[in-house]
Amino acid sequence: MARILAEGSGARSAVVWLKVGAELRPEAAWPMDDLPTEGLAVTADGLPDLEATLALQVHHRGELLGALSLTKPSGERLTPAEEHLAKDLAAGAGLVLRNVRLTEELLQRLEELRASRARIVAAQDQERRRLERNIHDGAQQQLVALAVKIRLANSLEARDPAKANTLLEQTETEVARALEDLRDLARGIYPSLLADQGLLAALQAQARKVPFPVNVDADGLRRYPQEQEAAVYFCILEALQNVAKYAMASKAVVQLTETGGHLTFEVQDDGAGFDTTETSYGTGLQGMADRLAALGGELRVTSAPGEGTIVEGSVPINELAAMAPPEAGLPQS
């Protein structure tokens, strides 16, 4: 298209611009050496200054999709016939640019998915290493110590029954402690309360452990596939941990709803807030976004200094997954 525009108008160079978001990006040029290296912000009045002899908007179905620009050699003017040709080309370029933009958006989405999957794999590897360390340093060491004490008690049984009995009593206490440590590890992998009773019960149990009041509102919530429930559960826990670490909040509210084929959640606090234009996602928020994106969901964060923070997320659900009866009889936190 850029070559046709340049050769048909006698231009020294021609550029095809694609509108992506609030920016015009150079997509093609003739000759190719004249392709600009940077995009330009779209103005409220339309096109930015493209520093060209002629710049034409390209629309399709009333939407601005891009622009065509051409630059004549120094001292030459655009003839009416050349201008007419350029306008005809711009009028017919809308569908072409729409298809180009769809391709660009698809490629961008694929790149985002690749990056998200890479982060998820890295996070899973890190979590496996953490579990390995916790098992090695915790439960495994406790079980090794228990085995040593039991062997020692057996060796003392004949010659010092009282001391052997004391050792066995100690091992009973340590067995209970090792079991509790293993249960804590298991709850970190997938909480039994979440598996047995669902999101509301599991979140209310966690809300009672947070060092500030948390109200959990989830009227009429149903049971959903394990992946969706786990994603929402761990995202809400991460959001509450962020509130506890950074927000200096006095309270928080957790809301869960099913709407429009999506399971949605919102965590709102009355803390310090932050400027979202200056603060990018940290590892916690990025992990939440990746977890939801892996299921076709999304994460949104709204905040401002002194106005608290709202973390919203959603994951798609299917009708068959929502056929279980609503949870009932559970007290509000």
Which pLDDT belongs to residue 323? 36
What confidence category does residue 134 fall into, taking pLDDT thresholds of 50, 70 and 90? low
Whether the pLDDT of residue 153 is over 70: the answer is yes
Q: How many residues does the chain have?
A: 333
Place of tokens 């979590």: 127
SS3 call for 19: strand
DSSP state letter for 158 = T
Which CATH architecture best describes the domain 2-92?
2-Layer Sandwich (3.30)
- Per residue in 54-85, is it b (16+ CB within 10 Å) or e — as a string? bbbebbbeeebbbbbbbbbeeeeebeeebbeb
The tens digit of pLDDT for each residue in 20-41 reads 888 888 988 999 888 888 888 8
What confidence category does residue 332 fall into, taking pLDDT thresholds of 50, 70 and 90? very low
Which pLDDT belongs to residue 325? 38
Q: What global pTM score does this model have?
A: 0.54
Domain 196-322, classified CATH 1.10.10.60, yes or no: no
SS3 call for 81: helix
Q: How many CB atoms lie within 10 A of CB 121?
A: 10
The tens digit of pLDDT for each residue in 91-130 reads 888 888 888 888 887 888 888 887 777 777 677 777 777 7
CA separation for the pair 47, 50 (Å, rounded): 8
Which pLDDT belongs to residue 330? 34
Q: What percent of the chain has pLDDT over 70?
A: 92
Place of tokens 């390209």: 58
Order of strands across the sheet that contains 252-259: 214-217, 252-259, 262-269, 309-316, 298-303
Mean predicted confidence (pLDDT) in 250-275: 94
Kindly tell me the burial class for residue 162, based on how many C-beta atoms sit within 10 Å of its own C-beta (0-12, 13-18, 19 or more): exposed
Which pLDDT belongs to residue 137? 63
Domain ranges of the chain: 2-92, 122-189, 196-322
Identity of the amino acid at 80 = P
Please indicate whether residue 312 or residue 323 has the higher confidence score (pLDDT): 312
Contacts of 266 (CB under 8 A, 6+ apart): 253, 254, 255, 256, 310, 311, 312
Residue 104: φ, ψ to 5° = -60, -45
- Per residue in 91-102, is it b (16+ CB within 10 Å) or e — as a string? eebbebbbebbe
Which pLDDT belongs to residue 328? 36
Asked which of 89-103, 234-248, 288-302 is least confident by mean pLDDT, the reply is: 89-103
Q: How many CB atoms lie within 10 A of CB 207?
A: 20
Nearest of 204, 240, 235, 239 to residue 221 by alpha carbon: 204
CATH number of 122-189: 1.20.5
C-alpha gyration radius of the chain: 31
The tens digit of pLDDT for each residue in 35-65 reads 888 888 888 777 888 889 999 999 888 888 8
Which pLDDT belongs to residue 138? 66
